[in-house]
Structure 1
Amino acid sequence: MSVPLSILDLSPISEGSSAAQALRNTIDLAQHAEQWGYHRYWLAEHHFVSVASSSSLTLLGLVAAATSRIRVGTGAVQVGHHTSASIVEAFGTVDALNPGRLDVGLGRSGHRRTAFTAPSTVSDTVIETEVRDGVVIPPPFEARNIIDKSKFLASAEALQQRNAEALDFADQVAEVRALLNGDFVSSNGVALHAVPGEGIDAQLWLFGSSAGESAELAGRLGLPFASAYHVAPGTAVAAVEAYRAAFVPSAVLSAPHVIVSADVVVAPTDERARELASTYGQWVYSIRSGAGAAKYPAPGAAPLTDEQLALVSDRLASQIVGAPETVTERLAALARVTGADELLITTITHDHADRLESHRLLAEAWNLTPARRREHADVGVRN
């Protein structure tokens, strides 16, 4: 397989376990991922839920310190909850001791909540699930359909200073780039320099899940783009298409460069993989119910009702589960349909040993090796 594979880790906490153990598992998986030939190791950012990746910028430093070759980054920093300076200084601090292998991944979360809080609308249009060359593209999930929005809104309030307003995403990306490049000037005309941070040898990525602002901005700026098929399978393909349509060559990239994520569980047999993934729906439902991601349940948990299943059907249909040959076939199809230059794999199982085995089996089936990982040409040295 010629397309490189990378890993996105949420540091999931399993039922009966703890955040501390989840973080130890993250370090362990990152070290194995480096041995197995994965190209990047990215860390998600989620708050006030049962995953341990709430401070992705802190965890970035821990993973970088525990590894030596694999690229390490964020997938993605929720920039609406951070100042541009805090982001650049954090990456600069990690880069100072682990130079030349960081990916600065920025996402729009925390900026706009209108899609979440807008009233539901009724439409006569029925969107059917599409299967394109084996890739499932379900109807888009509407964030407004989350059952109870109170925790989301409370979390958003807690993550910002009182009365503070986040910059527009494009403006904050411009600030981050200026701080990295060394040409940042404050609103009153004072030049400021991030130390450490300015001039680091890092790649800047924008993340998105729909054909909207993030995809178009990444294209206009000529930056690499990551599309979240694992979270938004109904709109991720359209996001890639919007990015390519908006792309303008830059000093970073002469052509579009896309990484597409997928939720994957691999086991020796299809049956065993389905067993390991059998409570994925319950976990997704905990998110879409509004309670937030619960601790990941062990196989054998109470099944979802038909009404609950309807809320998570898109994620179940697009999860890629099976024996190595089953999964590699579906991942190859995803790469073909999206034209992905890389694939980003996220895997959650109740037992850490099963998650390790899933990534190991996939690396073996995809013919990854550390040597092949080093052969993959990196995109844009600067931002």
Structure 2
Amino acid sequence: MRLGILDFCPIRKGRPPAESLYESVELAREADALGYSRYWLAEHHELGLAHHSPETLMGLIAGSTERIRVGVAGILMGLHSPMRVAKVFKVLEAFFAGRLDLGVGAGSAEPPVLAAMRDGAPMVGDHRQDYVRRVKALLEFLRGESPLHFNPLGVAPPPVWVLASGSPETASLAASLGTCFGHSLIHPKSRDDAGLAARYVEEFRPRPDMPKPRWVVAVTGLCAETEAEARRLASLSSDDPKSGLEIVGSPAQCRERFQALCERYRTDEIIFKDFAPDAESRLRCHRLLAEALQLTNK
């Protein structure tokens, strides 16, 4: 089993947002040394989180680590130009070849933020249609299938991950486009249904650059030396979503639940978002998980 990290970059109580950015870089360095597979950053635009530009922080983290894959999970495509996203990730891939992941999601933002980021441009069709159109355009730019080309030419694109939290249509979209698939059990409306991953695998259309399906499952939770301590820390966290599938407990308990989840979804990789209340317990959480799963031996 492999384990990756999803980081929302929460702001600690009474601390400035910039401090959380440094915390993320330090955690990524530790995760790199501990044997974690990926370090993914989310895009959100609420003021309770420390940044709203994950692709910028992603480059800094990739440059501060050596081995771990770094990515965004995911870029909210409804807020961005597909060409602009393709250009950013092609430049980053030139520096960090083979280490980047580009996740795309259908989420949005508050109407004033949405209008400002789109500079007033209207959606084409409804939200779903606009999202699908933008994902397809992004892939055309990355794969060199568009009549428009841009530098750096000759740089292979990073893997694209189509992300979902319960939509069968999104699982089918990932399969039809020949991309990776990430299923989130973190969000309030997440659907814990292994049939979605099975649907993706069954419908997957291979491509030369993606001959086999690849999928992960994301969960949230907290690990400490004992279950009691983990639950005590969870009660202190303002980042606890109180929703989705939570895995809270001792290292052995977390390992057992991770293994059960992998078996149900027939995957070999979990992406974990902790809701530790402070930097110290967060670091301890990931060290305990790395030891329990023997990540450094893989």
**TM-score > 0.5, shorter chain as reference:** yes
Aligned to 1:127: none
| Deviation at residue 284 of structure 1 after TM alignment | 5.4
The whole-number CA distance in structure 2 between the counterparts of 1:326 and 1:196 is: 47
Q: Does 1:244 align with 2:242?
A: no
Q: Deviations over 1:79-119 (max 9, x none)?
A: 11110111111112222222221111111223xxxxxxxxx
The whole-number CA distance in structure 2 between the counterparts of 1:195 and 1:8 is: 30
Identity %: 33
Q: 1:177 aligns with which of 139, 148, 152?
A: 139
Q: 2:97 aligns with which of 88, 96, 99?
A: 99
The number of equivalent residue pairs is: 293
Aligned to 2:184: 228
Structure-to-structure mapping, 1:10-159, within 5 angstroms: 10-110=8-108, 152-159=110-117
One-letter code aligned to 1:69: R
The whole-number CA distance in structure 1 between the counterparts of 2:254 and 2:31 is: 18
Computed over aligned residues only, the root mean square deviation of the Cα atoms, in angstroms, reads 2.1
One-letter code aligned to 2:281: D
Aligned to 1:128: none
Q: 1:270 aligns with which of 227, 236, 242?
A: 227
| Deviation at residue 198 of structure 1 after TM alignment | 6.1
Q: Secondary structure at the match of 1:278?
A: helix
Q: Secondary structure at the match of 1:263?
A: strand
One-letter code aligned to 2:70: V
Flag structure 1 segments of 5+ consecutive residues without an equivalent: 111-150, 186-191, 286-311, 373-383
TM-score (norm 2): 0.90
The whole-number CA distance in structure 1 between the counterparts of 2:186 and 2:211 is: 27
Q: Deviations over 1:170-201 (max 9, x none)?
A: 3222221221122312xxxxxx2122376335
One-letter code aligned to 2:160: L
The 1:164–1:197 alpha-carbon spacing in structure 2 relative to 1, beyond 3 Å, is: farther
Aligned to 1:257: 214
Q: Secondary structure at the match of 1:163?
A: coil
Q: Is the 8 A contact 1:108 1:214 kept in 2?
A: no
The whole-number CA distance in structure 1 between the counterparts of 2:190 and 2:75 is: 23
The whole-number CA distance in structure 1 between the counterparts of 2:153 and 2:66 is: 20
Q: 1:344 aligns with which of 271, 277, 284?
A: 271
| Deviation at residue 71 of structure 1 after TM alignment | 0.8
| Deviation at residue 230 of structure 1 after TM alignment | 1.7
Q: Deviations over 1:136-174 (max 9, x none)?
A: xxxxxxxxxxxxxxx833433333211332662332222
Aligned to 1:161: 119
Q: Which has the higher contact order (CA 8 A, sep 6+)?
A: 1
| Deviation at residue 235 of structure 1 after TM alignment | 1.0
| Deviation at residue 345 of structure 1 after TM alignment | 0.8
Q: Select between 199-208 and 21-30 the one with higher mean Cα deviation.
A: 199-208
The whole-number CA distance in structure 2 between the counterparts of 1:50 and 1:283 is: 9
Q: Secondary structure at the match of 2:46?
A: coil
Flag structure 2 segments of 5+ consecutive residues without an equivalent: none
Larger Rg: 1
Structure-to-structure mapping, 1:206-225, within 5 angstroms: 206-225=162-181
